[in-house]
A = this chain, B = another copy of it.
Amino acid sequence: MISRERILEAAARVYSKHGFRGATTRLIAAEAGVNEVTLFRTFGSKGALLEAVLEENDRGDEVNPLPDPPVDPQRELTEWVETHLERIRTLRPMLIHAISEYEERPEVADFACRGRIDVHHHITEYVTRLHELGLADRDADVSAAVTMLISAVMSDAMGRPMAPHTFPPPDEAPRRYVRCFLRAIGAPSSR
């Protein structure tokens, strides 16, 4: 039953590179070092295999959550942005194909959306608490600001490989996004 894992890993790699149509069962089997027939015996069909792959990668490992009482927003948010940038950067190829196949294979919708939605909820709660604690301007548009921060993370993770110089250097980006964000909501920037 070790084949199952090898096939799943290989399928993830091949799907990430070539998308659903391009991820032929031959390619996946070869990449896994396994006979093509084994693939069908184990998963039944190519579609079922790809569903299994996405499910496998969909576990929202909610490591590194934002702390419940915000203490040092600049530091906490920066760390959080760093973590999620890295995470999305890893998922990027799979995400891109899932999105581009959204219309043809709506069953991948969950995988393509859940990340963004969860993240939005999580960070909105954090900032709402900031707001309640008086650590942000009364009339700040926190909702739009949150959207913009998440957009920056998504856009950076997805678009940097294609247009690198439209983003700040990778090591500075998280801190600078967060600083802009905190200024936008009128929070006192720690530095």
Contacts and interface: CB of A to CB of B under 8 A. Distances in A.
Q: Which of A22, A100, A116, A168 has the most CB of B within 10 A?
A: A100
Given A100-B19, A120-B163, A148 B150 contact: no
Interface string A137-172: 000110111011111101110110011001110000
Contacts of A26: none
Contact of A183 (B113, B162, B183): B183
B176 A141 contact: yes
Determine how many copies of this chain the complex contains: 2
A180 interface: yes
A112 interface: yes
A22 B22 contact: no
Interface string A1-39: 000000000000000011101100000000000000000
Given A97-B100, A155-B154, A166-B120, A184 B181 contact: yes
Interface residues of A, number: 50
A12 to B, nearest CB: 15
A117 interface: yes
A99 B162 contact: yes
B163 A113 contact: yes
Nearest to A155: B151
A18 to B, nearest CB: 6
Contacts of A99: 96, 100, 158, 162
Contacts of A147: 152, 155-156, 166-168, 177
A93 B156 CA distance: 20
A109 interface: yes
Contacts of A68: none
Contact of A17 (B22, B103, B173, B184): B103
Given A176-B141, A181-B184, A159 B154 contact: yes
